[in-house]
Structure 1
Amino acid sequence: MKEQIMSHKSVASSWEIMRELKKLEQLLAQQQQSQKPVLSVDECAQLLGLSVSYVYRLTSEKRIPHYKPHGKKVYFRREEIIEWALSNKVTPDGEIADCIRTHARRARRGV
């Protein structure tokens, strides 16, 4: 009976070890991907949180910077994609109000 309990515990712990190893492999793969300067369509979609089909649509509409060195496969430069994703900032109302107050004060002073 004691042997059955011990073997059950060792099986459970080996499954836990395997699960943790799988997590580590995934984290390592993500880290390696985050350092790549050139991305595939799949990697670009994952970086932006978009579907692959939508990324292809953006490329066909020439709305996202991309490269086609041999006319078929599409590649992206990581830095350009991040810059593109952050290119249309929406200014919060509070920031706009602060800007208006600052300009109003300057106008009153005659500066």
Structure 2
Amino acid sequence: MNTIKLDERLARIESLLLAQKKVLTTEEACDYTGMSRSYLYKLTSTGAIPHCKPTGKLIYFDIDLLNEWLLNNQQDSHFQVEDKNRITTSNKR
């Protein structure tokens, strides 16, 4: 098997395993979200992202809270906007 394909398959397996964990380390959270370590640290230092520091040093992320935070401020598709407009218009009649 091609080395590149093997690396791709391994990366997919690792991402599936990450999704099964309840708590992520900073490095795992970077891999999971695709964010750089420095940006993730910036978000934690400003309190913009939910995290835990049980020992006061190491940072951990609850994957459910991380997913909720990632899906914050969801943008509606054009179809969803049209549906909302149609419903609003029909309710005014």
Give the structure-2-normalised TM-score.
0.80
Picking from 28, 31, 34, the partner of 2:16 is 31
User: Percent identity of the aligned residues?
Assistant: 32
Partner of 1:59: 44
Gaps of 5+ in 2: none
Q: Number of aligned pairs?
A: 91
Rg (Cα) greater in structure: 1
> Does residue 24 of structure 2 align to residue 49 of structure 1?
no
Match of 1:101 among 58, 79, 86: 86
CA–CA separation in structure 1 for the residues paired with 2:75 and 2:14: 33
Structure 1 stretches of 5 or more lacking a match?
1-15
Computed over aligned residues only, the root mean square deviation of the Cα atoms, in angstroms, reads: 2.2
Greater per-residue helix proportion: 1
Under a length normalisation based on structure 1, what TM-score does the superposition of the two structures give?
A: 0.69
CA 1:30–1:102 in structure 2 vs 1: closer, same or farther (change >3 Å)? closer
Higher relative contact order (CA 8 A, sep 6+): 2
Q: Is residue 2:62 matched to residue 1:77?
A: yes
Task: For residue 38 of structure 2, give the secondary structure of its aligned residue in structure 1.
Answer: helix
Displacement of 1:90: 1.1
1:85 offset after TM fit, Å? 0.2
Q: 1:90 to 1:25 in 2, by over 3 A?
A: closer
